Structure 1
Amino acid sequence: MSDEEMIITDNEFLRQFETRINNELAVIEYSQQERKIFLTKLRMPENSEDKQEDFIMAVLSEIKERNTRVVPTSPEIAGYMRKNRRKYKDLLPVGINI
């Protein structure tokens, strides 16, 4: 797997998006209500913080393809979306600001 290629799996049973980084599991947990997905928790393998933004970006891209709104309750994900506000503002539900 190259640096750019990150394969995201939606584990619906555990309600989490998953990818492998350095052969370890990275996870974004979620809960879903109607057409909104709440990204509640981010877990990254040790020493892989440099891949955190790539993982968040890949998950947000996956969600965007589903035409679903995102409510980032995880501080790391909310921070990433705040930093990239213009790119992701259309993913936020009406009335939600980060």
Structure 2
Amino acid sequence: MSERTLKLAQRRTALRAHCASQREELARVAGNIESRLSSVDHGINMFRRYAASPALLVGGLALLTMIGPRRLLRWVGRSAVFVTAGQRIFRLLR
């Protein structure tokens, strides 16, 4: 084998290894993005499911009217903090 052919074969091997590592990195990043978007999809599906029910919409409006928007927003804010904390705890326990 000539020296040029040997160098080309080595370069080809190095490029194939580099491509394989890039594919692995791309798969890891795509999996991370997919997991984040799945939670968004879950939230959208839940919203659609509950928004399709007129009784829930009427009940939500009645709750908003009785409690008041400020108090309701305060409760939602506190609930969001607790939900986020719970998600982080469950993620750590897994």
TM-score by length of 1: 0.23
Higher RCO (CA-CA < 8 Å; seq separation 6+): 1
TM-score by length of 2: 0.24
| Higher helix residue share | 2
Structure number with larger C-alpha Rg: 2
| Higher strand residue share | 1
